[in-house]
Structure 1
């Protein structure tokens, strides 16, 4: 599934009021953190993740790894915050048509 620009804009609007559900710690991206992100995605579908890193390249690599590991869609990044979306088996968010 590919998200259209209209669908991404819709998800950005929904994500605006959300608080980060997962925050990476000093150990970085571990299997436990990925499992927690998966659980949050299954429960919420749309989540924010805080990636505190001073190095831009490292932060981008971590965010890309999160998207790749979870097979979610990257909606947006703002500073240290990543917004991702993954539809669950029983969708809670109805996306606008393409």
Structure 2
């Protein structure tokens, strides 16, 4: 287990500031998982597009739950955003401490 924080964001950046708030505090050594409507953050039209790109370019890791991407008919706009299934999500949760949920 690492002492690196895993952030989870479940609200759309089009309807909430949660992803922006998360990106304001997340450090490049940490990871973010987008799930539920949070996966809209992968869109190039997202209001957090620039901040998300900066986080990724600084070395931050961003994941998006594949089932939520598929349910919304979207795919990631960045090669560096990794789709993940539930098994990998659980694995990430066991590898990080603490887990910060943004909801």
**Pairwise TM-score range, normalised by the shorter structure:** 0.3 to 0.5
TM-score by length of 1: 0.37
Higher relative contact order (CA 8 A, sep 6+): 2
> Rg larger in 1 or in 2?
1
